[in-house]
Structure 1
């Protein structure tokens, strides 16, 4: 059985740059689902270079893969049944339309548990249905919302743990945070030398607070999730190296930058953020230096609820060639 609402499709960009999920219905396995109507808007994203999505530093936590949200009016349920019955008799379809229509009517018209599609309650509530997080539609957890559409009066929070809430909106917004890539600046740029410090830094213009607001149209319900960069972790790609600081964690400076740009005359100084390789990478070889930024995540909402979510990380790998220092004997 599948429900296909007559609500207007979205899925396109709005005038303010936000996006709106489709209100179309479909079926995943045994689940009746709708593509979410939740809108997201971004503030403070970097326009320099590529962006990506955060990975939770808590291996036991991920944003929700599905939830329940308002999806169908009584008239939409009634129209859906009429549409199904209208396709019976088409080639390759046979009487399946009447079969689906009878099945829907049993639940939504004949009093098991709803009567006459709840038309007498038009405007007083909505049928809520399972919505799948489009970023996690292939996750097994996306099948957890397996209840058929159920009625909820306006202003009532259903006793369902996965019913859309400020926190669920905030956790969904976590999935939508477009954090900037971590292609670091390095000196030397092309090849570094054994036992000479390599300076590493990140431009302050790329690493600012980023927020995503997730809202459910028509409900006044929204939550804003904010990511703030706090540190850069350097993994030199080999144990034959020394990082600065020794932990490999470079803190964010007061101006939002990380590390310090190299300047002439500092070749032998210790960088605030960097690495010294102790062994050459070999002929035509390189070390995979990984730079990962950690972001603190917090959220607020229109209901006054808020708090913290697990830290997020996003990183990239750059190949570093390390050469022996050449000397000439006279």
Structure 2
């Protein structure tokens, strides 16, 4: 029983990897700015998705990933999407040919302790091809639905590249499913849709790191207000679009937008006062915080901190700044909604000194 179980597992792996490698070349031709399901550290993570990300992408230089407010929320680990025509699927199956063994042998390769790696691979690959041939030629369909060419597509499971090694991605491991043009499968909960595209795009948002501006810029002074603000040109709404264009002319897309809404300051010591008292600065006149200027030296900052005790000769306070972004999406079919807000925090060590008299330019 143990040997049979190992063979079954190996067979399923060979089927999955073989299909991935067979379809990857075809899908690469249709790749957009960044396609899902690409190679991961030299290993095939899944079949390459036809979904394209445009508008930035979360992997850009200087960008960060948001932490969703709901800790239980995650973008989908996988989904099903139209991938191959009957002709393409048949060609892929026919390409699964066993490699030639290193030594010529008249007998058929045998799965067992004495079989070398090539023999084992050939045997498993042959079994995989037989299983798939039976499924797509006679058991479920007739000759890969060749007579339906141009009337629909086979939908296949693809993995979210950001969760390629997540066990939850195995939820999309069923055989390819035939779907007529214009009739998305209602019984398939993970069938690609604008909402799924929006959730995937969430992870690709080009969020800038939370770098705050302060005045005074360097060392802070006891009982002197520190003005805090964010660069208006850098911290503004950002968006990305995930799209899927099908061969039958169908277009699915969703644009996910992130909008900065609040900046929360935590001074790193109880001997401090925040402005406002809650420490949560909200957007006002399109900006978080207000840039300091000479004429404001007698004003209270709308967003800032006043340290009440020096940090010590060789010490500092860990000032934590958390920027919260509200997330919304809009689909090509008119659907729309909100996704969990996200945040990103940075901590800056602040030195606070004592001074008797203060002159501010």
Name the TM-score, length of structure 1 as normaliser: 0.86
Residue 214 of structure 2 corresponds to which residue in structure 1? 186
Provide the aligned length of Structure 1 versus Structure 2.
Answer: 315
TM superposition shift of 1:19: 2.6
1:308-323 counterparts in 2 under 5 A? 308-323=338-353
What root-mean-square deviation, in Å, do the aligned CA atoms of Structure 1 and Structure 2 show?
A: 2.7
In structure 2, what is the Cα distance between the partners aligned to 1:194 and 1:176?
42
Residue 124 of structure 1 corresponds to which residue in structure 2? 151
TM superposition shift of 1:244: 0.6
In structure 1, what is the Cα distance between the partners aligned to 2:292 and 2:153?
61
Q: Tell me, yes or no, if the aligned pair for 2:38 and 2:44 is still in contact at 8 Å.
A: no
1:216 maps to which of 244, 261, 282: 244
In structure 1, what is the Cα distance between the partners aligned to 2:167 and 2:265?
33
Structure 1 spans left out of the alignment, 5+ residues: none
1:305 maps to which of 335, 344, 357: 335
User: In the alignment, does 2:202 pair up with 1:138?
Assistant: no
In structure 2, what is the Cα distance between the partners aligned to 1:292 and 1:11?
39
TM superposition shift of 1:23: 7.5
> CA offsets per residue over residues 262-293 of structure 1, 9 Å max, x none?
22364554211011122322332222212122
Residue 322 of structure 2 corresponds to which residue in structure 1? 292
**Which protein is bigger by CA-based radius of gyration?**
2
In structure 1, what is the Cα distance between the partners aligned to 2:331 and 2:203?
17
User: In the alignment, does 2:278 pair up with 1:251?
Assistant: no
1:87-126 counterparts in 2 under 5 A? 87=99, 89=101, 92-94=117-119, 95-96=122-123, 97-109=125-137, 111-126=138-153
In structure 2, what is the Cα distance between the partners aligned to 1:23 and 1:325?
58
In structure 2, what is the Cα distance between the partners aligned to 1:8 and 1:314?
34
Residue 303 of structure 2 corresponds to which residue in structure 1? 273
Higher helix share: 2
Q: Residues 88 and 142 (structure 1 numbering): CA distance in 2 closer, same or farther, change over 3 Å?
A: same
Higher strand share: 1
Q: Residues 11 and 184 (structure 1 numbering): CA distance in 2 closer, same or farther, change over 3 Å?
A: farther
2:272 maps to which of 231, 241, 263: 241
Q: Tell me, yes or no, if the aligned pair for 1:88 and 1:98 is still in contact at 8 Å.
A: no
Structure 2 spans left out of the alignment, 5+ residues: 1-14, 104-116
In structure 1, what is the Cα distance between the partners aligned to 2:38 and 2:30?
8
Q: Tell me, yes or no, if the aligned pair for 1:44 and 1:208 is still in contact at 8 Å.
A: no
Question: Which range is displaced more, 258-267 or 221-230?
Answer: 258-267
Q: Tell me, yes or no, if the aligned pair for 2:37 and 2:159 is still in contact at 8 Å.
A: no
In structure 2, what is the Cα distance between the partners aligned to 1:281 and 1:137?
46
> CA offsets per residue over residues 149-181 of structure 1, 9 Å max, x none?
222111111111111011001111111110122
Q: Residues 87 and 124 (structure 1 numbering): CA distance in 2 closer, same or farther, change over 3 Å?
A: farther
